[in-house]
Amino acid sequence: MNISNLRVGPRLGLGFGVILLITALIALTGIWRIGALKDASERVATREIEQRTLVDDWAADIRLNWVRTEAFLKAIDPGYMEKLTTDTQATNTASETKAKRIEELVQNEKGKAMLATIAAARTAYSGKLAEIRDLHRGGEPNVPTMVDNDLRPLADKYLHSLDELRSFMAAQLDESQRDTSTMAGASQMLLGAGAVIAIVLGALLATIVTRSIVKPVQQGRLAAEKIADGDLTQVLDTRATDETGQLLHALATMQGKLATIVSNVRRNAEGVATASAEIAHGNNDLSARTEQQASALEQTSASMEQLGSTVRQNADNARQANQLAMSASTVAAQGGDVVAQVVQTMKGINDSSRKIADIISVIDGIAFQTNILALNAAVEAARAGEQGRGFAVVASEVRSLAGRSADAAKEIKALIGTSVERVEAGSALVDRAGTTMTEVVQAIRRVTDIMGEISAASSEQSTGVAQVGEAITQMDQATQQNAALVEESAAAADSLRAQAAQLVEAMAVFHTGTGSSAAARSRMQDASARSSAPVPSPQARPLASNAAPRQLGNSAA
């Protein structure tokens, strides 16, 4: 099975599934090994340690009974001897219980054989001990010799057998610990190997899946960039059936359709170029004649505008002359009165300001002297002590009043300064009034000049009428010549319009935004309208003496 034929979703699912499966196997292996380690640890912690503890207790019981036996043989009190016998039997019973438990715990043959040896040694030791006890009760004098010669070797053999069993169990415990350590190391190696295998397989699968997805996407991106640059000769690999293969197949289909559209556009563009050349040739002649017609129309418009302007200007000049003469007399009289009043007012304000300034200076001096007197009074009151305290309060109030008087004097002085500035502004207004009177005199002089312009404008009217007749004749001839060219341009325009429509329909396949085709058609119509508009004649511009004739000339053209 080829992985490139799988869809992206199943492909990613397969890769992640394999990784998850390996992870699950590693987890199960770890659980299994941890369970084995747990069992081994429990075995070491319970059975083997319990065996060793029981053997140690058993040996301690034997040594305890040996001490009791020695005490029994040396005792002469029957009660004490009976107690020692009872304690010894109880310890023997406990030892038998421990022996049975050890037999239950021991699983291997060697351990069972050692237990059999211990049992035989215990039987021999117990039998000899009972025999010696009976002899001791009967008053046998050779009991100490029998203890040393017969009982002690049996006790030593009994203890030696237990020591061998204890050593054997210690060796088993060490072996179990080594087995546990070996098992732990093997588990670590197994889990480490599984982790390495999972990482390697995961990296391999990630690389394979990533390449199977990224490579076709990069190929599609490069193809799209080259198509955007205008290269329609790309060969795309469309053999894959997944989403990336479908993307490349769609890009290849789009590239083929774009190539077909571009070919059609090129053929139509060639036809448009030919038709445009014919139209351009005809429009050159039409433009030249249109410039002549526009020039003639502009001259006519300028002449008519000048004629009307001259007539209107004559009437306006006459009215202005009358109004200026009447206004000049009135303004001159009023201006003289106003100037005289302003001059008198300014003088009064200036005198008042000076008087107020003098008064403020006097007030300021009084406040300063009062402040000095109050200060002296305060000094004298301080010298007088308790008797001058009231006088000191009065002196302080006088100082306060003097300070406020000084502050008020400063504020009034600032107001006077402002008044002086306004007086200066009034003087400037008086100067401007004198200038106005001068302008009135100049206006009266202009009355005479305007009357002279009325006479000169009347003579220009006859010349303008003659120019109008000549311009109309030229415009009639140019209009007849343009009629033939208009018919030729119409036929070429129809052909160009049909080919342009085909071009627009072919390019309408591309959607670059809302209303893009309509915008293209609108731009084509605007370009056609601009190309049909004639260029104004540059020769007509010097004849237009102001803005109004130029606007009329452009509108007529």
HEC profile for 336-349? HHHHHHHHHHHHHH
Whether residue 231 is contained in a domain is answered as no
DSSP per-residue string spanning 48-67: IHHHHHHHHHHHHHHHHHHH
Domain of residue 132, CATH code: 1.20.120.30
If asked whether residues 214 and 252 sit together in one domain, one would say no
If asked whether residues 432 and 301 sit together in one domain, one would say yes
Residue with tokens 């300014």: 346
State how far the Cα of 507 lies from the Cα of 258, in Å rounded to an integer: 10
State how far the Cα of 370 lies from the Cα of 374, in Å rounded to an integer: 6
If asked whether residues 356 and 434 sit together in one domain, one would say yes
If asked whether residues 219 and 254 sit together in one domain, one would say no
If asked whether residues 152 and 254 sit together in one domain, one would say no
If asked whether residues 170 and 279 sit together in one domain, one would say no
Q: Please give the tally of structural domains in the chain.
A: 2
Per-residue model confidence as pLDDT tens digits over 133-175 = 788 777 777 877 888 888 888 888 888 888 888 888 778 777 7
Tell me the Cα Rg of the chain: 67
Whether residue 142 is contained in a domain is answered as yes
Instruction: Give the mean pLDDT per block of 10 residues along the chain (557 residues).
Output: 60 71 78 67 61 81 82 78 84 84 78 83 83 79 81 85 82 76 77 80 77 71 76 70 69 76 73 72 72 73 73 69 68 66 70 74 78 78 73 75 78 77 73 70 66 63 64 70 70 74 64 48 56 49 38 33
494-497 own/partner pairs: CB under 8 Å, 24+ apart: 495/271, 495/275, 496/272, 496/275, 496/276, 496/279
Whether residue 100 is contained in a domain is answered as yes
Final residue in a domain of this structure, among 197, 225, 253: 225
Q: Are 224 and 250 in contact (CB under 8 A)?
A: no
Per-residue model confidence as pLDDT tens digits over 26-63 = 778 777 767 666 665 555 555 667 777 888 888 888 88
Final residue in a domain of this structure, among 191, 225, 259: 225
If asked whether residues 251 and 212 sit together in one domain, one would say no
Whether residue 160 is contained in a domain is answered as yes
DSSP code at position 513: S
Domain span at residue 128 reads: 3-225
pTM: 0.32
If asked whether residues 197 and 282 sit together in one domain, one would say no
If asked whether residues 73 and 175 sit together in one domain, one would say yes
Helix (H, G, I), strand (E, B) or coil at 327: helix
DSSP code at position 151: I
Instruction: State both tokens at 111.
Output: 């351990």
Q: Are 534 and 486 in contact (CB under 8 A)?
A: no
If asked whether residues 50 and 197 sit together in one domain, one would say yes
Whether residue 237 is contained in a domain is answered as no
If asked whether residues 343 and 466 sit together in one domain, one would say yes
Whether residue 234 is contained in a domain is answered as no
Whether residue 238 is contained in a domain is answered as no
If asked whether residues 221 and 249 sit together in one domain, one would say no
Whether residue 240 is contained in a domain is answered as no
